[in-house]
Amino acid sequence: MADPFGFAPALIDRMRTARRVVVLTGAGVSAESGVPTFRDALTGLWATFDPRELATPSAFARNPKLVWDWYAQRRAQVATVSPNAGHRALAELEERVPHFLLVTQNVDGLHARAGSRALVELHGNIARVRCSRDDQIVEHWDERNDALPPRCPACGSFLRPDVVWFEEMLPADAIERAESAARDCDLMLVAGTSGEVYPAAALPHYARAAGARVVEINPNATPLSGLAHDTLRGASAIVLPALVRAAWPQEAT
Ligand code: OAD
């Protein structure tokens, strides 16, 4: 069962021959692991929670404990889930192409746990915590104070999750690495993202302008669908392994 999806031969050919591959992922790739997305109408986090109250610097300034607790809850939830077949297929793809970069908007750390190494976590990682004053990563903290977030052991400022909030800049090294790879790739896979949040959503445009074949993997249409050469409508945990198997059938694991 090499290719149950009937992928375009030109796509499979590009998978096999591409020298520089960039993959952009979003919350949808972790859906099968049980991590909620943000914008899906009924199940997305932003359907239930207001991002302005939870994911902005001003929300943290207004109500640091509410923000801390929301992320602490998500951190605990992410610790209970596992990478799925889509994450694993991307780790395998990395082994098969000469130059590879996986750019994720996800903060759940599942790509790294699946074995991806050339990885840019554009929006940070929810497992990490940093000082809200000088951004130093803190390994151990004390959750005991009920009314306020834990404090930095060095300076006493509140600790915060090491994620990017709305209204904040992305880490410069992360976005530079992602942009320069996107501007110089011959294949880009865009999986499980609504393509609503910039600058991540600009990356497929750069890839397309550079002459790359752009492939969207998403059960639903997005603003990026129009620029994709291939729109593979399905769950990434199904489509990504099938795509890798279709390109390298003789080496089935
Ligand atoms: P969204 O929640 O905006 O989009 C999730 C996408 O995944 C949608 O297009 C769904 O159709 C698709 N999807 C759902 N289930 C899927 C599945 N099983 N397989 C493949 N795709 C599936 O999530 P993101 O695009 O990641 O930022 O959101 C971007 C950023 O907005 C996030 O990183 C976060 C959020 O606010 C910050 O927190 C800074």
3-state secondary structure 136-154: CEECCCCCCCCCCCCECCC
Answer whether CATH 3.40.50.1220 is correct for domain 9-34+83-123+170-247. Answer: yes
Q: In the prediction, which pLDDT does 2 show?
A: 53
- Residue 35, number of CB atoms within 10 A of its CB: 20
CATH of domain 44-80+131-163: 3.30.1600.10
Pocket test of ligand 1: the residue of 24, 105, 189 to mutate, having most ligand atoms within 8 Å of its CB, is 105
Q: Determine if ligand 1 sits within 6 Å of the CB of residue 193.
A: yes
Calculate how far, in angstroms, residue 195's C-alpha sits from the geometric centre of ligand 1.
8
**Helix-then-strand count for the chain, H and E:** 10, 9
Give me the residue spans of the domains in the chain.
9-34+83-123+170-247, 44-80+131-163
Distance CA(32)–CA(222), nearest Å, equals 19
Site of tokens 């993997």: 217
For helices 236-247 and 85-96, the axis angle rounded to 10 degrees is 30
Q: What atom of ligand 1 comes closest to residue 164's alpha carbon?
A: 39
Residues 191-228: tens digit of each pLDDT: 999 999 999 999 999 999 999 999 999 999 999 999 99
Q: Determine if ligand 1 sits within 6 Å of the CB of residue 104.
A: no
Residues 130-145: tens digit of each pLDDT: 999 999 999 998 887 7
DSSP symbols for 96-126: HSSEEEEEE---S-HHHHHT--SEEETTEEE
| Per-residue DSSP letter, 223 | T
Q: In the prediction, which pLDDT does 110 show?
A: 98
Q: In the prediction, which pLDDT does 1 show?
A: 47
Question: Which portions of the chain are predicted below pLDDT 50?
Answer: 1
123 noted as active-site residue: yes
Pocket test of ligand 1: the residue of 39, 125, 165 to mutate, having most ligand atoms within 8 Å of its CB, is 39
Q: In the prediction, which pLDDT does 3 show?
A: 67
